[in-house]
């Protein structure tokens, strides 16, 4: 059984979600606004396995709540509910640290499936964190496993703890950032199409705005590139997608 925090001010919708999530065997708490959600998570330290977070809330909106949680190093999976008429909500949701989103109005079955997906990923993360990892120097260069470590050009990514270690910094990746990076690394040297990233990596529908990916790539470049404006590892392939190169040769740049 998972404990889910539903953050939604529309009482009938919140109650409907509670009823259906409980029918699926989850335990559910409802917060009617962002402040009380933050209070439960950051001050009372209540334990939850996932958050269903509406963007439209009185006072602090869902973006602000997600940002404050991530700033406080709370990495609980967040499924964000956005307005369908505002594709920019999706981009902003990802930027604020949401792991997945669902436009309103949504079908309940889809919400349950998405939530299940997030819970599965966080289970995987938890078991990975409690397992023993290969030290980075013993990791097989040029390959990565689900529970593994990948090193390239002075950086080490631990996909179990979602930590990216650089020369002078440790960065905590979100689930979606880590999944994108892992997919690109697995395809080291090969072009990965934007649509494939949406569908295969994040399980999003293909009509999702592909700019969501560009937003992620900008962030990943900030983490892994010496000069993010002149990437050497995470290259844009114009009109198609992206290509990761662990060990770029001389003169290899975006085309």
Instruction: For Ca ion, give the closer residue by CB, 9 or 209.
Output: 9
Sheet with 155-158, strands from edge to edge, namely: 149-152, 155-158, 163-165, 170-172
Compute CA distances 127 → 42, 123, 176, 222, whole Å.
Answer: 24, 6, 18, 29
DSSP E strands: which ranges in the chain?
Answer: 3-7, 27-31, 50-54, 78-83, 100-104, 149-152, 155-158, 163-165, 170-172, 191-193, 234-237, 241-244
Confirm or reject binding of residue 225 to Ca ion (CB under 5 A). Answer: no
Asked if 35 interacts with Ca ion (CB under 5 A), we say no
Q: Looking at 9-17, 170-178, 194-202, 221-229, which segment touches Ca ion (CB under 5 A)?
A: 9-17
Number of residues that bind Ca ion (CB under 5 A): 4
Tokens at residue 80, please? 């964000």
Q: Is 9 in the site for Ca ion (CB under 5 A)?
A: yes
* C-beta of 7 vs 184, nearer to Ca ion: 7
Of residues 202-221, those binding Ca ion (CB under 5 A) = none
Q: Which stretch binds Ca ion (CB under 5 A): 5-13, 38-46, 87-95, 206-214?
A: 5-13
Among 54, 68, 100, 179, interactor with Ca ion by CB under 5 A: 54
Q: Is 56 in the site for Ca ion (CB under 5 A)?
A: yes
Pick 11 or 218: Cβ nearer Ca ion = 11
Cα–Cα dist 194/239, whole Å: 9
Q: How far apart are the first and last CA of the chain?
A: 48
Using the 8-state DSSP alphabet, how is residue 196 labeled? Answer: H
Q: How far apart are CA 106 and CA 197, in angstroms?
A: 22
DSSP 27: E
- Asked if 237 is part of the footprint of Ca ion (rule: CB under 5 A), the reply reads no
Residue number, 68 or 177, with CB nearest to Ca ion: 68
Q: Which residues make up the interface to Ca ion (CB under 5 A)?
A: 9-10, 54, 56
């Amino acid at each position: 059984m998972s404990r889910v925090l539903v953050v939604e001010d529309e009482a009938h919708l919140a109650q409907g979600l509670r009823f259906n999530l409980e029918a699926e065997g989850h335990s559910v708490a409802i917060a009617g606004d962002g402040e009380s959600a933050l209070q439960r998570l950051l001050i009372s330290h209540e334990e939850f396995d996932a958050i269903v977070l509406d963007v439209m809330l009185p006072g602090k909106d869902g973006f602000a709540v997600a940002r404050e949680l991530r700033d406080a190093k709370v990495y609980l999976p967040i499924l964000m509910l956005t307005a369908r008429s505002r594709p920019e909500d999706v981009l902003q949701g990802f930027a604020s640290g949401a792991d997945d989103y669902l436009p309103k109005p949504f079908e309940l079955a889809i919400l349950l499936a998405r939530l299940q997906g997030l819970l599965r990923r966080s289970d995987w993360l938890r078991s990975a964190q409690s397992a023993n990892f290969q030290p980075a120097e013993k990791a097989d260069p040029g390959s990565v496993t689900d529970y593994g470590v990948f090193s390239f050009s002075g950086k080490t990514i631990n996909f179990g703890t979602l930590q990216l270690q650089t020369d002078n910094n440790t960065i905590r990746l979100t689930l979606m950032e880590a999944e994108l990076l892992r997919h690109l690394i697995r395809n080291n040297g090969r072009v990965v199409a934007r649509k494939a990233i949406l569908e295969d990596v994040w399980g999003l529908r293909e009509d999702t705005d592909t700019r969501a990916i560009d937003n992620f790539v900008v962030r990943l470049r900030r983490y892994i590139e010496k000069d993010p404006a002149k990437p050497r590892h995470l290259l844009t392939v114009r009109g198609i997608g992206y290509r990761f190169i662990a060990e770029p040769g001389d003169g290899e740049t975006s085309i």
